[in-house]
């Protein structure tokens, strides 16, 4: 009986690991995606301030106004708890302003889960190339854990449209190599509209999971309200159907699971250079688990 239970747990763990490989960025379900998600969100907030205050200036500052350090702790409660228990992580990010059009980002997460502890690290670069064109590139890698990528690279091409340059079109590419035989190729298209007091965006992801060349799509809708140096509130809604080929079953069964996620995020400046941020969210992975997320952190600009 004990062997059967252990075999069932390992099977679920392997299934979860494969699902991580198949889930696209927009599902925002796993720690491997959260580093990229945070990097994109912070850049949206700083760009929103640039577009609202410098619309008549030909050179938009695509870098960050200052260096910034962020440290936070996150806690995820999963149901059924008896199988997945809870996940915790200590996260840090450092935004290193090199020039007005180049900012480097260093970030990492130390993660504790029932499957074992792990660490995920990433480096990224925000780069403005010309008046209306900028990119973001990120490379990340995780320790040999079933829930972390062995290697991942994300790249975004962004272009500002309109007379006021307040509509941003996006084309994204990503590649994920897992510690097992799975790998993913992800393409995405998105658009974000910036006004003086809010920004709203939509993005669709097209994922191909190998082996099996299994295709799936995911979507994310995001609304941000606020201003830099005061406060930001973000609401994100994501949904999709990550699919993959299970290689742990003899018949190599194709698995398709619907996902739904909702996140509420708040960032508040306490003075000119520092403040706190908090996040809560809900994620459902069909036929697997419900996840309730909590995060609290502090940031300091230099």
Q: Which two tokens stand for residue 90?
A: 């200590």
Is residue 232 a part of any domain in this protein? yes
| E strand intervals along 162-288 | 167-178, 183-194, 198-210, 214-227, 231-240, 243-245, 254-256, 259-269, 274-285
Q: Three-state DSSP class for 285?
A: strand
Q: Is residue 210 within 8 Å of 220, Cβ to Cβ?
A: no
Which residue(s) pair with 299 in the sheet? 70, 275
Is residue 231 a part of any domain in this protein? yes
pLDDT at 203: 93
Is residue 296 a part of any domain in this protein? no
Is residue 90 a part of any domain in this protein? no
Is residue 173 a part of any domain in this protein? yes
Q: Is the bond preceding 249 in cis, omega lying within 30 degrees of 0?
A: no
121 vs 9: CA distance, rounded Å: 28
Q: Is residue 264 within 8 Å of 280, Cβ to Cβ?
A: yes
Least reliable range by pLDDT among 1-15, 146-160, 195-209, 249-263: 1-15
For residue 274, give its domain range: 2-66+96-108+118-287
Is residue 100 a part of any domain in this protein? yes
125 vs 130: CA distance, rounded Å: 16
166 vs 194: CA distance, rounded Å: 5
Least reliable range by pLDDT among 158-162, 210-214, 267-271: 210-214
Most confident of 55-59, 144-148, 284-288, 291-295: 291-295
Q: Which two tokens stand for residue 81?
A: 């708890």
What's the Cα-to-Cα distance from 193 to each of 24, 199, 202, 222, rounded to whole Å? Answer: 23, 5, 9, 11
Is residue 82 a part of any domain in this protein? no
CATH number for the domain including 243? 2.40.160.40
Q: Which two tokens stand for residue 13?
A: 């763990």
Is residue 72 a part of any domain in this protein? no
Give the total number of structural domains in the chain: 1
For the chain, percent of residues with pLDDT exceeding 70: 78
Instruction: Give the model confidence (pLDDT) of 13-59 as tens digits.
Output: 444 434 443 333 333 333 336 666 676 777 777 777 666 655 444 55
Instruction: Give the model confidence (pLDDT) of 139-195 as tens digits.
Output: 999 998 877 889 999 999 999 998 888 899 999 999 988 887 788 899 999 999 998
pLDDT at 33: 61
Q: How confident is the model at residue 100 (pLDDT cuts 50, 70, 90)?
A: confident
Q: Is residue 167 within 8 Å of 192, Cβ to Cβ?
A: yes
């Amino acid at each position: 009986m004990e062997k059967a239970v252990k075999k069932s747990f390992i099977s679920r763990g392997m299934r979860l690991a494969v699902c991580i490989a198949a889930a696209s960025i927009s599902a925002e379900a796993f720690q491997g995606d959260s580093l990229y998600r945070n990097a994109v969100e912070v850049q949206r907030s700083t760009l929103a301030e640039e577009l609202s205050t410098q619309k008549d200036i030909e050179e938009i500052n695509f870098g960050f106004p200052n260096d910034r350090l962020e440290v936070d702790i996150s806690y995820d409660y999963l149901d059924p708890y008896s199988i997945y228990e809870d996940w915790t992580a200590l996260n840090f990010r450092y935004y290193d302003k090199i020039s007005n059009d180049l900012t480097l980002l260093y970030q990492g997460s130390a993660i504790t889960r029932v499957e074992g502890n792990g660490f995920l690290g990433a480096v990224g670069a925000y780069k403005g190339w010309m008046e209306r064109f900028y990119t973001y590139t990120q490379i990340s890698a995780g320790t040999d854990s079933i829930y972390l990528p062995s290697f991942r690279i994300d790249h975004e091409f962004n272009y500002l449209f309109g007379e006021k340059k307040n509509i941003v079109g996006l084309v994204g590419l990503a590649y994920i190599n897992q510690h097992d035989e799975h790998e993913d190729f992800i393409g995405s298209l998105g658009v974000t509209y910036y006004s003086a007091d809010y920004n709203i965006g939509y993005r669709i992801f097209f994922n191909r999971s190998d082996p099996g060349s299994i295709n799936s799509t995911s979507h994310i809708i995001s609304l941000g309200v606020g201003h830099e140096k005061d406060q930001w509130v973000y609401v994100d809604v994501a949904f999709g159907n990550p699919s993959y080929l299970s290689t742990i079953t003899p018949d190599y069964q194709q698995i398709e699971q619907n996902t739904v996620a909702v996140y509420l995020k708040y960032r508040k400046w306490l003075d000119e250079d520092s403040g706190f941020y908090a996040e809560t969210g809900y994620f459902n992975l069909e036929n697997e688990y419900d996840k309730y997320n909590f995060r609290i952190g502090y940031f300091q600009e230099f």
